[in-house]
């Protein structure tokens, strides 16, 4: 049997199917504060009731500011930093003068 759960923690409102909180009978249950409000045969009907309850509550999701750095960008930053360090220090390892070099003959 397929499980389903959609939950808004701030409202303590959920739609659940075949979870530990509701009977295992393939119905979709709408719960408020862990108490079953209604059961529906289809997810569409359960979502209609769920959305109605959310609208009536006046709930507005909080916008959370968090910086998400793409791992690809992070890898590129590491590469460019390594490249800068290499070129900043490479002069230390160049040969001094001699034929074919830039050491001034």
Give per-residue burial for 69-92: e unless 16+ CB within 10 Å, then b: eeeeeeeeeeeeeeeeeeeeeeee
Predicted pLDDT of residue 64: 67
Predicted pLDDT of residue 69: 59
Mean pLDDT of 83-104: 65
38 near 30, Cβ under 8 Å? yes
Predicted pLDDT of residue 54: 93
pTM over 0.75: no
């Amino acid at each position: 049997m397929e499980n389903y759960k959609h939950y808004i923690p701030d409202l303590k409102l959920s739609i659940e199917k075949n979870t530990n909180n509701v009977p295992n009978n393939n119905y979709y249950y709408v719960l408020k504060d862990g108490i079953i409000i209604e059961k529906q045969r289809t997810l569409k009907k359960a979502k209609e009731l769920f959305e109605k309850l959310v609208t009536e509550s006046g709930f507005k999701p909080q916008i959370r500011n968090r910086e998400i750095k793409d791992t690809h960008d992070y890898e590129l930053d590491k590469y460019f930093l390594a490249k800068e360090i290499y070129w900043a220090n490479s002069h230390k390892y160049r040969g001094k003068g001699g034929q074919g070099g830039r050491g001034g003959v």
